[in-house]
A and B are shown apart, each in its own frame.
Chain A
Amino acid sequence: MKKTLYFLAATAVLLAGCTNSGSEGETGSTDDVKSFGFVYKNTGNPFGEKLMEGFINSIEEQGYTAITKAPDSPTAEQQINMIQELVAQGVDGIAISANDPDALQPALNAARDQGIQIISIDSAVNTESRNTHIQQADPVGIGRVLAESALDMADGAGEIAILSATSTATNQNTWIEEMQNVMDSDEKYADLKIVKIAYGDDLRDKSTSETEALLQSYPDLKVIVAPSTVALAAAAKVVTDKGIGDNVKVTGLGLPSEMAEYIESDVTPYMYLWNPIDMGYLAGYTLAEMADGNISGELGDTFDAGDLGTKEVTEAMDGGTEVLLGEPFKFDAENIDQWKDIF
């Protein structure tokens, strides 16, 4: 019996221990102030952390409260549960970065039935599950800059390879597809050949061995294009370690903090990304404007997005609507120092 008491006491202490961590964001229940939720793909991801930071900035700037959540592994199952939690917390709007475009539909629709506004950000949900989507950059534009940088770094001709995240990652697949479209539709890419699309599963070790296999199998490889941070950094690291940075260049989409080292060493002369803080900030305004009833996410809606100025709801590639943040931003040796400590 004594042990039982100890155990109960231990459980109580354990639970009490998380009151502290739990209390900081405890505002969801207050009815007079509007609250908004943000669900990212997974926890501990610097890109996601910055998205959430921007989101919190804009929501608090407007005098509302923000709740951010992220599952500890990137699965749709856990995101469904988090959406349900947000509904129970009585939020007025949810921004979601989806691990699966379709899997969240029933959960999001159930939330919408409660009058909650839904937008997706970064990774879209399907058009039936959302009011609108915050698009980091036009996918065609991303495809084009990827193709152009490959062309530039390969000096107009040669073999290139793509190292992506997981084979199921929707964003990456779209961008790769757009990149191929660009290359197929323009004569200047005729001498540029994609020899392989490899997948590193967003794991360092796997991305590393995939990169090594690419270098091994295609000795004439000139450029590796990696539209994902882990893949990009791993590829750049391999090329750096092998000391072949003069022959093989690595570019793609990556975080400045992860890539600063390789941009400075010219293994990656330049790369692209967008500002996640601004993205989160834009999502905060879009969501709040919708909850206030000013816009509905229909095509042609315009609204004031704080520091970002006026934004317009435009047509998205998948048939729904989206709000475009801007063009992808180019990070090079000139500007990397300003950004590497920010995100």
Chain B
Amino acid sequence: MEELKWKYELSTKKDKSIKSFFMQWEWLLVVILILIITFNSSISGNFFTVNTFLTAPMSFMDKAFMVLPMTFILLLGMIDISVGSIVALSAVMMGLAFQSGAPMWLAIVTSLFTGVICGFLNGLLNTKFSELPPMILTFATQTIFRGFSYVLLENNSISGFPTWYTNLGWGSVAGIPIIMLVFIVVAILFTAVLHKTVFGREIYAIGFNKRTSIISGVKVNRNIIIVFTLMGLMAAVTSLFLTSRMSSVRADIGMGYELEVIAMVVLGGVNTSGGIGRILGPIISVFIIGFLRYGLGIANVSSQTITLIIGVLLIVSVLVTRIKIKNKKI
């Protein structure tokens, strides 16, 4: 009887010497980023200038907004391949609102609202019909959202937005592009939400084990809907910056964005099966792929070669994480 009464004590001190594996992965990404910048500078004299670091991000930051919620979705163990179409539909709705005489701010709200509705719809489908894989459901909505954009705008384009709107995508404050500033704010928010709030913790829990999360009282469906809605919202934000940069709206914009965004998230060390990864990695990946494209472009490397290189980079990086995880397990 005495033996049963022993008590174990649980330490609450973190063992600082064990560096988490994922931290290492992010350091690796930073090293790759530096490597790419050094390399780009070496092959093109035009690369290593202040201008590059200020204007180049303009060219690739728009997708970065979608990388943040897509990280959440992959952490949930789900996927959303309809985001490119949401970009198009929110842009089209914005354009139509503007065309019908609404003030620009209202048009912007329309776009954001459209994104939210699309995202919410995706979330609703994925919770109501959770038997079906998200890949299939969002594949269907992808076609529907894109199709609806065509139905609405046909082959027309809408342009003539006010200058201040165009400036969103092209302007700078104190030398730093506006798009970059907005991204920094949004990224900090998403990071804080994922790593410092209950909501973020629950995303990991759902990603690892959905049923356990439900039984533990986590409002799984609500969280999934929120995440997909955020995804829609950020797709709308992307559409705003994209249309601002293009100062024109068409039904065919944002084609293929979903795969680029997913590739960035995966390169950032987020596992597609859910639960594994942090948000910093995908953020660094945005810059890795962005600077790689920009730098190679400046060096006159053909775009299909760049695509090929990014494909190989994606596979090699995932292969390396896998090998490391495998070693870790034994």
Interface residues of chain A, those whose CB is within 8 Å of chain B, are: 3-4, 6-8, 10-12, 14-15, 17-19, 21-26, 28-29, 43-44, 67, 69-73, 75-78, 80-82, 84-85, 88-90, 100-107, 110, 166-168, 173
Contacts and interface: CB of A to CB of B under 8 A. Distances in A.
B253 interface: yes
25 contacts: A4-B320, A11-B32, A15-B35, A21-B301, A21-B305, A22-B300, A29-B46, A69-B300, A69-B302, A72-B303, A72-B306, A73-B256, A75-B252, A77-B242, A81-B294, A84-B55, A89-B298, A100-B248, A102-B159, A103-B159, A103-B250, A106-B166, A106-B169, A107-B245, A168-B157
A69 B303 CA distance: 8
A150 B64 CA distance: 50
Nearest to A19: B43
A163 to B, nearest CB: 16
B89 to A, nearest CB: 16
Contacts of A110: 170
A63 B311 CA distance: 38
Contacts of A80: 59, 245-246
Interface of B: 24, 28, 31-32, 35-36, 39, 43-47, 49, 51-52, 55-56, 58-60, 154-155, 157, 159, 166, 169-170, 242, 245-248, 250-256, 293-294, 296-307, 309, 312-313, 316-317, 320, 323-324, 327
B303 A78 contact: yes
Contacts of B307: 72
B286 to A, nearest CB: 14
B157 A102 contact: yes
A19 B296 CA distance: 9
Contacts of A17: 309
Contacts of B252: 75, 166, 168
A22 B248 contact: no
Contact of B59 (A18, A75, A81): A81
Main secondary structure on chain A at its contact with chain B? helix
A167 B301 CA distance: 32
A18 B305 contact: yes
B251 A14 contact: no
B35 A69 contact: no
A291 B49 CA distance: 25
B248 A102 contact: yes
A103 B247 CA distance: 6
Contact of B28 (A7, A90, A168): A7
B297 A8 contact: no
B302 A21 contact: yes
Contacts of B242: 77
Contact of B301 (A22, A103, A166): A22
A100 B316 contact: no
Ranked nearest first, the 3 interchain pairs of A and B with the lowest CB-CB distance are A25-B300, A103-B246, A102-B248
A12 B297 CA distance: 18
A18 B309 contact: yes
B6 to A, nearest CB: 40
A90 B46 CA distance: 8
B46 to A, nearest CB: 5
A14 B301 CA distance: 13
Contacts of A14: 309, 312-313, 316
Given A85-B298, A88-B46, A44 B246 contact: no
A43 B297 CA distance: 14
A121 B55 CA distance: 26
A77 B246 contact: yes
Residue in A19, A24, A72 with the greatest tally of chain B CB atoms within 10 Å: A72
Given A7-B28, A103-B248, A105-B248, A88 B304 contact: no
Contacts of A67: 300
B299 A26 contact: yes
Contacts of B60: 81
B43 A23 contact: yes
A73 B294 contact: no
B267 to A, nearest CB: 12
B303 A8 contact: no
Contacts of A89: 44, 46, 298
Given A44-B304, A84-B59, A89-B46, A69 B297 contact: yes
Given A11-B35, A76-B246, A85-B298, 10 more contacts: A4-B24, A7-B320, A8-B32, A19-B43, A72-B307, A81-B59, A88-B55, A101-B157, A107-B245, A168-B155
